[in-house]
Amino acid sequence: MSTDKHTDDVARGMATAAAAEPHAHERHPSDERPMPIFGGTEAAGYRTQWDAIQTGFVDEPRRAVEEADALVALVIKRLSAVFADERGALEHQWGRGDEISTEDLRVALRKYRSFFERLLSL
């Protein structure tokens, strides 16, 4: 299945916008509320692209399904990258060696709990 140039352009734009938005590991540790998986700009971009795909179904149903498949694959890939980045940041935070304080470990566990809840809420 192939994606058209528009799909690739939108994907690059959303990835650039997402890089500029804060990630969950950058939040204050006392903020226990789960953060959305994707920032507002990135999520809006995916929704806009989905709307265009759905609208295009009337004229080109096969192409619309191919584009839907590509968009879902893109979102899954991005989702995987977001969680891998967050896990890496958490692991780096507590894996600094024997000199880490109990308070640092408590904060790390709270972040893991928030991360875990986000995973289960999918």
Task: Output the pLDDT for position 44.
Answer: 92
85 close to 23: Cβ distance less than 8 angstroms:
yes
Tell me if 69 sits within 8 A of 3, measured CB to CB: no
Q: What is the pTM of this model?
A: 0.59
pLDDT of residue 23: 47
pLDDT along the chain (122 residues), means of 10: 49 48 46 69 93 96 96 92 84 72 82 80 72
Q: In this predicted structure, what is the pLDDT of residue 96?
A: 66
Beta carbons within 8 Å of 104's beta carbon, 6+ residues apart: 93, 94
